[in-house]
Structure 1
Amino acid sequence: MKLKWFMGVMLSASFVLGGSAQAQIKIGVAGPMTGPQAAFGAQLKNGVKLAVQNINAKGGVLGQKIEVEVGDDQADPKQGVSVANKFVGDGVTWIVGHFNTGVTIPASEVYADNGVVLITPSATNEKVTDRKLWNVFRTCGRDDQQAQVWADFAASHFKGKKIAVVDDKTTYGQDIAKNTVAQLAKRGITPDLMEGVNAGEKDYSSIVTKMKNKSIDLLIWGGLYTEAALILRQLRDQGMKTIMLSGDGITSSDFATVGGDAVIGTQMTFPPKFENEPQNADLVGQFKAMGFTPEGYTLFSYAAVQIFAQAAEAAKSTDPQKMAEVMHSGMTFHTVRGDLAYDKKGDLTTIGYVIYTWRKGPDGKIDYYQNIN
């Protein structure tokens, strides 16, 4: 009898403890936490962690606290799928990530099949949302939107000049380059050079030589910051004054760290700097107290957590499918990057890109500053 009583108590306790553990909402943040793109992974991770900390401090979501799990996909699609499967196995139901389009697409299918909702802060390829999966959303814009801004800039400022369109052969880089070439054609412009280079290399003398031989004035770059910085340094070493036009893939202070003075004058598209908004001053102070300066996709990731929390509150449930229904409904979410709403595909109903110039500030630091005109 004593044995039965003991086993009964232990079984009851296991249910209580199990219920308590399950009451925690598990959110995963995934991106390149190591490797050459780790700066972007840090933006996603720190944005999510501080958002969760602040939400938990106010009581959590529907009385439940949020627990963060970090996944390092190393910017590799196969590793991204492995991370996705681990998240599913660990009971993670909300995802902020992945960073790269080429990783987000296959990982999102794992999440869709397993009832997990995802918001990517950074994957801009149209295919991310054009597949119309029930569970995929983003807090960033799309490559086709960004390409229009690039083409307008080129047509306005480099009419009659020599233009090269170069990409890093990734899903992201090739897509935005393809979109830009199409947009340039609509404006009667044909690039003088179209080329792809291999990401991860150190020597880009071949493409630099081709640009020098064609006296390229404007280099439109579809890719990330490391390769962009190296190409610019090697262009400057050859005496070239070619201006680079790129986008969200170079929004990291590491672009200037790698490229030095060679990046000065680079033109870049990205949404407004929400970290400079007065209403976010205290939040920026919190990040800096953590030893992290928010930039790029940090607040995009923070906003993703806010959207999840507000969707759950509106749905009166933390169930991902019920939350996704709310998110697709056109509801307005109040976030650190402004009021946001989604269309039926999971894209933002409004998104604005502005032009920035990388230059030295009053403190001598090279950073990106929004163009006045």
Structure 2
Amino acid sequence: MRTLLRTGVALGLLMSATHAMADIKIGIVAPITGPNAAFGAQIKNGATQAVEDINKAGGINGEKIVLSVGDDASDPKQGVSVANKFASEGVKAVVGAFNSGVSIPTSDALQEAGIVQISPASTAIKFTERGNWNTFRTCGRDDQQGGVAGAYLADKFKGKKIAIVHDKSPYGKGLADETLKALKAKGGSNVIYEGINPGEKDFSALVSKLKQAQVDVVYYGGLHTEAGLIIRQMRDQSLNAPLMGGDGITDREFVQIAGPGAEGTYMTFSPDARKNPKAKAIVDAFKARKIDPEAYTLYSYAAVQILQAAMTATKSSDGKKVADYMHQGKPFDTVIGDISFDKKGDITRPDYVMYVWKKAPDGSINYAGNEIE
């Protein structure tokens, strides 16, 4: 009897191990905590919903996807720690990170481990310019986004006093510099170029400088937390110049921080993926769970869809094989539309537009549906 029990236990352990090996592990690296947790929630929500939907439909090559979530707290060192943790867990692919400053060092650690990475949100040029075979993104780049912002400033604020402010991060400074480059290429100029530190709360000195220069518009390269505080303090000091930002402010938490002064804020972002007819069923699924799939939610969903399609086509979860297939430029059918990648891992359809945050009939301030033609 004891022999039979031992045999049964051994067989059970073998079957469990075999089952575990059959699962495909996908990691999510995002700021689950910290100042950018709102964006971390978008990435986690999008990837989680995609995994649930794919598993319900049979998984990838008959294998189920298992998610592993790593909190980088918008800290590059913590992001690398998460990458190393994923490598030890046998993770095959990663969705994230949010911050470019985290994605860049994290991608190096993931490449060493043979893991492919798709960021739904990291727009810094450097992310895909270093020759890494494992870096991809479902969003655009800062030179594309800055080009749209700079051209708009040159046209709509011609002859006006323009201030350029950034948060010194790879994302914020990179975007501000690309915007300024495009502004100057169109014949425009700026009266202020200033850097602030992420995490700052008191911008009274900056606002005083902006007032003294009598600026007509403030371009800010950075994230929603500081952008919201800058606007609030501008209004407190009776400076009513509008602020223009990039995709780093695309969360409703921005309005909670900025207050009523958020109305009239300009912002570059991709066309609203929630309006894509292909996304209707997915959007409805999110709404049924009381989740608004704003900003990067659907971009994260699309990242998982792409991984599924590449692993299915190659019949493999090997990072290099999956990346080689993705680099071929074949279109992937996703919830945000058809996406194909170039040899660097950038999408081949740059698609930034300008939005303005407006007050809705219910009194809320949002960018949804407010694209500027």
TM-score of the superposition, structure 1-length normalised?
0.96
Partner residue of 2:244?
Answer: 245
> Partner amino acid for 2:370?
Q
- Corresponding residue SS for 1:28: strand
- Corresponding residue SS for 1:26: strand
Show CA shifts across 1:316-358 (max 9, x none): 2122211111100111100000000000000001120011000
- 1:256 and 1:277 map into 2 onto residues whose CA distance is 25
Partner residue of 2:370?
Answer: 370
> Partner amino acid for 2:319?
P
Answer yes or no: is the 8 Å Cα contact 1:29–1:48 preserved in 2.
yes
- 2:332 and 2:121 map into 1 onto residues whose CA distance is 18
- 2:288 and 2:89 map into 1 onto residues whose CA distance is 31
Shift of 1:289: 2.1
> Partner amino acid for 2:83?
A
Moved more, 180-189 or 32-41: 180-189
> Partner amino acid for 2:194?
E
Partner residue of 2:351?
Answer: 352
Matches within 5 A, 1:40-79: 40-79=39-78
Answer yes or no: is the 8 Å Cα contact 2:76–2:102 preserved in 1.
yes
Shift of 1:202: 1.3
1:291 pairs with 2:294: no
Show CA shifts across 1:81-137 (max 9, x none): 111111111111110001000000111111100011110000000110011211110
Matches within 5 A, 1:11-90: 11-90=10-89
Partner residue of 1:256?
Answer: 255
> Partner amino acid for 1:204?
F
Partner residue of 1:219?
Answer: 218
> Partner amino acid for 2:13?
S
- 1:49 and 1:276 map into 2 onto residues whose CA distance is 21
- 2:239 and 2:42 map into 1 onto residues whose CA distance is 33
Partner residue of 2:190?
Answer: 191
Moved more, 351-360 or 175-184: 175-184
Moved more, 315-324 or 178-187: 178-187
1:154 pairs with 2:153: yes
- 2:131 and 2:251 map into 1 onto residues whose CA distance is 30
- 2:11 and 2:129 map into 1 onto residues whose CA distance is 48
- Corresponding residue SS for 2:165: strand
- 2:168 and 2:222 map into 1 onto residues whose CA distance is 8
Partner residue of 2:235?
Answer: 236
TM-score of the superposition, structure 2-length normalised?
0.96
> Partner amino acid for 1:251?
T
- Corresponding residue SS for 1:314: helix
Show CA shifts across 1:156-176 (max 9, x none): 100100000000111111111
Answer yes or no: is the 8 Å Cα contact 1:354–1:370 preserved in 2.
no
Are residues 72 and 323 of structure 1, via their aligned partners in 2, closer, same or farther at CA, if it must alter by over 3 Å?
same
Partner residue of 1:343?
Answer: 342
Partner residue of 2:208?
Answer: 209
Shift of 1:190: 2.5
Matches within 5 A, 1:87-106: 87-106=86-105
Shift of 1:18: 1.2
Are residues 213 and 372 of structure 1, via their aligned partners in 2, closer, same or farther at CA, if it must alter by over 3 Å?
closer
Matches within 5 A, 1:128-143: 128-143=127-142
Answer yes or no: is the 8 Å Cα contact 2:340–2:348 preserved in 1.
yes
Partner residue of 2:303?
Answer: 304
> Partner amino acid for 1:144?
D
> Partner amino acid for 2:216?
D
- 1:258 and 1:21 map into 2 onto residues whose CA distance is 44
Answer yes or no: is the 8 Å Cα contact 2:224–2:250 preserved in 1.
yes
- 1:46 and 1:10 map into 2 onto residues whose CA distance is 38
Partner residue of 1:178?
Answer: 177
- 1:279 and 1:292 map into 2 onto residues whose CA distance is 18
Are residues 371 and 293 of structure 1, via their aligned partners in 2, closer, same or farther at CA, if it must alter by over 3 Å?
closer
Shift of 1:21: 0.3
Shift of 1:11: 4.6
Show CA shifts across 1:21-45 (max 9, x none): 0110111111110122110000000
- 2:134 and 2:8 map into 1 onto residues whose CA distance is 40
- 1:228 and 1:61 map into 2 onto residues whose CA distance is 41
Are residues 193 and 313 of structure 1, via their aligned partners in 2, closer, same or farther at CA, if it must alter by over 3 Å?
same
Partner residue of 1:315?
Answer: 314
- 2:8 and 2:344 map into 1 onto residues whose CA distance is 49
- 1:217 and 1:352 map into 2 onto residues whose CA distance is 27
Answer yes or no: is the 8 Å Cα contact 2:276–2:337 preserved in 1.
no
Answer yes or no: is the 8 Å Cα contact 1:96–1:305 preserved in 2.
yes
- Corresponding residue SS for 1:294: coil
Answer yes or no: is the 8 Å Cα contact 1:274–1:299 preserved in 2.
yes
> Partner amino acid for 1:211?
L
Partner residue of 2:111?
Answer: 112
Shift of 1:305: 0.3
Partner residue of 1:266?
Answer: 265
> Partner amino acid for 1:86?
K
Shift of 1:363: 2.1
- 2:180 and 2:365 map into 1 onto residues whose CA distance is 30
Show CA shifts across 1:221-264 (max 9, x none): 00000111111111111111211111100000001111121111
Answer yes or no: is the 8 Å Cα contact 1:25–1:93 preserved in 2.
yes
- Corresponding residue SS for 1:50: helix
Moved more, 112-121 or 186-195: 186-195
- What residue ranges of structure 2 are gaps of 5+ in the alignment? none
